[in-house]
Each structure stands twice: as structure tokens, then as C-alpha cells.
Amino acid sequence: MAPATIPPEVTELADQLLLAQRQVLGDQLLGLYLFGSATTGAFESGISDVDTVAVLVDEPSDTEIAALAVMHEHLARDRPDWADRVEVDYLSADAIAQFRSKSRPAARISPGEPFHRIQIDRRWITDWYQVLKNGIALYGPPPDEVFPPITTSELVDAVRAQLGDWPERISNASRPGQLAYAVLTLCRALRICSTGDSVSKKDAAVWARTEMPKFRRVIEDALAVRYPDAGMTRQSQPNRPDVLRLCQVVIERCTER
């Protein structure tokens, strides 16, 4: 499959982000990798997030983390059109190489989360799999020279392990957008568990409508919230009880396989 063309608006933002990162990190920045909807042809202008991974020579220092936090504040002010739609993980090459066996410190900013410290471990397999499958190097060596190979069985096992976190996350969700995100993420989890194939959340949700006909309305409502220009008619706002029931079904079906 030929690589998707990066949308011009993403290229513009990525150029600005990379320039700011290099000003802060200098030679510490080993590579910057774009993945997700921007590289698969599923990007929705004005809606989709931009997913990136910044790989560093060493673990980010306290000074670098403080400077990166300020940089992202400035970027948000300069580009309000991208407010709460930029995801970057800052981590060392060793953290990627050793993620199966060790937890290593890193930093992250993502939609709904401020810039903060995290630990990189096996939970990031799903992201690394997407980087290897469809990622593009905006700076640095190709993804397969930085990220270790990940098997389909590892991906499925990681998705199953992560599903246990979702009931609590859904119970704590307060906004329709958060519940819609949960529905779409769960649809992609079911797609991965069922087929071993990782596709966009939107494509997975369209597929899941026929796989889970009892939840068709819930899924279509989530699609309408997340992708208002996709032609879906929203019958109601996603509600927590329905999303929790969908979550339980996905957990059961993924566990069976």
C-alpha cells in the first residue's frame, strides 16, 4: 500500500513543532515520527489529532522537560486551531529498545492531558506498532531503525491487557466527546482482537456497527460526535451506561479469542 500524503495543514504544524523541538533539544533530538490518521489517509481536517513520537538520545532531563512545557504552551497560543489536538511522547532510544522489560521515564502531551511526566513500558506497544506500520520520519532515521519489531500476537495481547482500564475511565468521563472517544477506541480494540489488523478508529467503528448490531446506535452517535461531517445523524448524546455495556461486551469478546 502506498504511503498516504500528509495533509498540508499537518505538514505546516509538524514543521513548526520540529523547529521548536530542535531549538529546545538540539542534538538530544534523535528523531521525530508522525503516525496515526495523518499517515493513513483517515485525517479529518479540524477534527483529527496529530500523533507524534520524539525520540531522544538520553532520557529527558528536568531542565528539558521544563523547557518543553513552555514550548508547548507557546505553540498552543500561536496555533489555537490545533488546541488540544497535538500528541507528543518524549522518550529515549533506550526506553523504546527496552520497553518489553523495563519501565523508563518520559514526558507526554496529548489531547485532554497537559504536558506531564510518564513511564514508558509495554502499554505503548499499540503506538509503536502503528509507527512501524504507517509511521513517517519527519526527522531522523526510518522508524524500523529505531523501533523494534512487534508481532501481531504482541499487539493483540497488549490490547487485551489495556481493556481492563476502560470501565474506570468511562465511569470518570464527563463529556460527550470523552465517551465518544471511548466508544471508538473500544471498536478499534475489538477490530484488533478479531482480525489482528489495526485501522483508524473511524474505520473500526464503521466495521463494528455490523459486528455489534445491538450497539449500532451508540456507535453511530459516537461517530457523529467525533466526526460531525461524516454524514452520521446523531440520535442522542453518548451516555455512560450504554458505553459501559459496550465496553463489557468488547472485553468479553476479546477475552474469548
With 80 as the cut, is the pLDDT of residue 248 above it?
yes
Whether residue 213 lies inside any domain: the answer is: yes
At 14-39, the pLDDT tens digits run 999 999 999 999 999 999 999 999 99
The three cell numbers locating residue 168? 474506570
How far is Cα 179 from Cα 244, in angstroms, rounded to an integer? 10
Q: What is the pLDDT of residue 1?
A: 40
pTM over 0.85: yes
As for how many domains the chain has, the answer is: 2
* Same domain assignment for residues 22 and 124: yes
Whether residue 2 lies inside any domain: the answer is: no
Report the b/e string of 241-253 with b at 16+ CB within 10 A: ebbbebbebbbee
The three cell numbers locating residue 228? 460531525
Whether residue 198 lies inside any domain: the answer is: yes
Residue whose C-alpha cell reads 499487539 in the numeric block: 155
With 50 as the cut, is the pLDDT of residue 165 above it?
yes
* Same domain assignment for residues 77 and 101: yes
Distances (CA, A) of 239 to 80, 171, 173, 223, 246: 29, 10, 10, 14, 11
* Same domain assignment for residues 92 and 29: yes
Give the mean pLDDT of 176-199. Answer: 93
The three cell numbers locating residue 90? 518524549
* Same domain assignment for residues 73 and 184: no
Q: What range does the domain containing 82 cover?
A: 8-150
With 80 as the cut, is the pLDDT of residue 112 above it?
no
Q: What is the pLDDT of residue 208?
A: 97
* Same domain assignment for residues 123 and 52: yes
Whether residue 3 lies inside any domain: the answer is: no
